[in-house]
Amino acid sequence: MKISKGWIILISVVVVLFLLISWGTGTYNKLVSKEEGVNQAWANVENVYQRRLDLIPNLVNTVKGVANFEKSTLTAVIEARAKATNVQINPKNLDEGSLQKFQEAQNNVSSALGRLMVVVEQYPQLKATQNFSELQAQLEGTENRITVERRNFNESAQAYNTYLRRFPSNIFAGMFGFTKKAYFASDKGAEKAPQVQF
């Protein structure tokens, strides 16, 4: 039994098309999986930042109990928290600009909390309360979690961005609208060691 030349060409074309479709589907699905990994890592970042924001009202209420406490410091913390809660980022649009706005808002919260903790040093009766000590410990733990989740996010974004840029997955990425994700970066000036003078 002889197979005609036309059948051989048709079978070859079908096999090649099948392989191309299988390869394209696999590449697309891997891009989706990696992007979802970035989205999950971003959700974890938002979760720990939200945890910090949720602790602030309790901290402020505890500190308010001290009669002479500086209201301007508390106001700065409350305002920084309010601004940070207004900065929302869609994980599909994690570009440099949106991540920078998010980071700036969170840095303002960190700065305000830092000033609050410095002022608290002047109030030993406040530092001695169990409620304040517990809140301070929770804030410290949350700051550590933030560091871990930011690192995890950067690792997920790096894996996604690397796959996105590799040939031939970059062709599919462009066709289906997958875009590069931004990274968390250190604050400007963080590369310089602080000068300690006595």
* Share of residues in the chain with pLDDT > 90 (%): 44
Tell me the per-residue pLDDT of 121-155, one tens digit each, with 9 for 90 and over: 887 777 777 888 888 889 999 999 999 999 999 99
The total of other beta-carbon atoms located within 10 Å of residue 32's CB is 12
The total of other beta-carbon atoms located within 10 Å of residue 149's CB is 20
Average pLDDT over residues 77-104: 88
The total of other beta-carbon atoms located within 10 Å of residue 49's CB is 22
- Please give the Cα distance from 49 to 163 (Å, whole number): 28
The structural domains of the chain, with segments of one domain joined by +, span 5-176
Tokens of 31: 């891009």
The total of other beta-carbon atoms located within 10 Å of residue 22's CB is 10
117 versus 70: the higher-pLDDT residue is 117
Record the pTM. 0.80
Which CATH architecture is the domain 5-176 placed in? Up-down Bundle (1.20)
Please, where are the H alpha helices in 5-95? 5-64, 71-86
Binned at pLDDT 50, 70 and 90, residue 188 comes out as low
At residue 98's C-alpha, the angle toward residues 36 and 150, to 5°, is 55
Binned at pLDDT 50, 70 and 90, residue 158 comes out as very high
